[in-house]
Amino acid sequence: MGWSSWNHYGARITEADVRATADALVSSGLSKLGYTFVNIDGHWQGNRDANGAIQPNPATFGDMKQLGDYIHSKGLKYGIYSGPGPVSCGGNTTSYGHEDQDAATFASWGVDYLKYDLCSFRILMKQAEDKGGHPASTKLMIDAYKKMELALEKTHRPIYYALCQYGMDYVWTWAPDVRGTMWRTTMDIKDNWDSMTSIGFAQAGLSSFAGPGHYNDPDSLEIGNGHMTADEYRTQMSLWSIMAAPLILGNDITKMNQETLEIVGNPEVIAIDQDPLVKAGDRVWQQGPLQIWARPLKEGEMAICLFNAANGVTTMHFNLHDMHWSGPAKVRDVWAHKDLPSIQDSFSAEVPRHGVVMVVLHR
């Protein structure tokens, strides 16, 4: 859990923005809820010095170790961005040919998280595919991610390793072999309903690949960036939590309104996402724009989401038998923060347009 600079700041990110965000994560109370990573997602890079050591962009960033020390002084963790290709997606310096050197540099700065973005490495993959077919291209990519993993391991510093290659070549099947902590399963998300739902609901069927220490990553949260409704943002928060996805905020924390804070800071929904059983949920039913997802939780509890992608309020229901739940159940509505009447056989609720009802069943 944490924050990433890209969705709101993009290429405009500065050290001052990062420091202000660290301050806001603490002052808002979000850090106490688990949002602890402060991730600089690209455009921090400058050139390399005479010894080949990567330097920050002097126009926007200063001493990167001092920045890391500041983040750590707040009780937070420090994330940074690079990639295996010759340049980043934005044309900045990356780690191609300098993997060991950059890993050592990042560790010396106190980095706790590395996002490693494929970007221009796809040019090299295309060349390999032209010569040896798709298997050669895939092997080249996996070897590149393995190379950085080995470089990180040499530093003897625990650094979360976030693979970003957009879900190519069934990344969820091989990312754990290169010790990926998390792996992007999709292209970049946008702050609109179609993008969020096409990415989120496409995660159906991937639950078995997530587990303790390794997670499917459908990209950052767009909540608070202003182009979706509160119901639509609650849908994203619920969907990401039911699938045990990383909760990485992508908004301007320093100007967050109360509505946004209540959505991303809902402790009951966060508890579902962070459930210690770490068993991801999945879709169990769909009919047109209506979907039901379920996730087993600790101590025999179960989280269930009723998603309504239709353009109007819809009554939805489920039977306990279909959820593989035996006997009666107590019901907790985690968005309304209230207990509902116990149920014997089935549950029904009105679900708002582009909205969700999220409940936890318990004995």
**pLDDT per residue as tens, the chain (363 positions):** 999 999 999 999 999 999 999 999 999 999 999 999 999 999 999 999 999 999 999 999 999 999 999 999 999 999 999 999 999 999 999 999 999 999 999 999 999 999 999 999 999 999 999 999 999 999 999 999 999 999 999 999 999 999 999 999 999 999 999 999 999 999 999 999 999 999 999 999 999 999 999 999 999 999 999 999 999 999 999 999 999 999 999 999 999 999 999 999 999 999 999 999 999 999 999 999 999 999 999 999 999 999 999 999 999 999 999 999 999 999 999 999 999 999 999 999 999 999 999 999 999
Q: How far apart are CA 322 and CA 314, in angstroms?
A: 20
Q: How far apart are CA 159 and CA 179, in angstroms?
A: 11
Q: How far apart are CA 99 and CA 151, in angstroms?
A: 6
Number of residues assigned to the chain: 363
The CA radius of gyration of the chain, in Å to the nearest whole number, is 21
pLDDT for residue 61: 98
- Kindly report, as residue ranges, where domains of CATH 3.20.20.70 are found in the chain: 2-273
What's the CA dihedral at 313, 321, 303, 161 to 10 degrees?
-110
Name the CATH superfamily housing domain 282-362. Golgi alpha-mannosidase II (2.60.40.1180)
Enumerate the active-site residues: 117, 188
Encode pLDDT of 299-346 as tens digits. 999 999 999 999 999 999 999 999 999 999 999 999 999 999 999 999
pTM, full prediction: 0.97
Q: Which CATH architecture has domain 2-273?
A: Alpha-Beta Barrel (3.20)
Structural element, H or E, at residue 45: strand 45-48
Q: How far apart are CA 163 and CA 360, in angstroms?
A: 32
pLDDT for residue 254: 98
Q: How far apart are CA 223 and CA 213, in angstroms?
A: 25
40 contacts 22 by C-beta, under 8 angstroms: no
196 burial (CB, 10 Å; 0-12 / 13-18 / 19+) is buried
CA angle 220, 74, 68 (to 5 degrees): 75
- Kindly report, as residue ranges, where domains of CATH 2.60.40.1180 are found in the chain: 282-362
Q: Report the SS3 class of residue 294.
A: strand
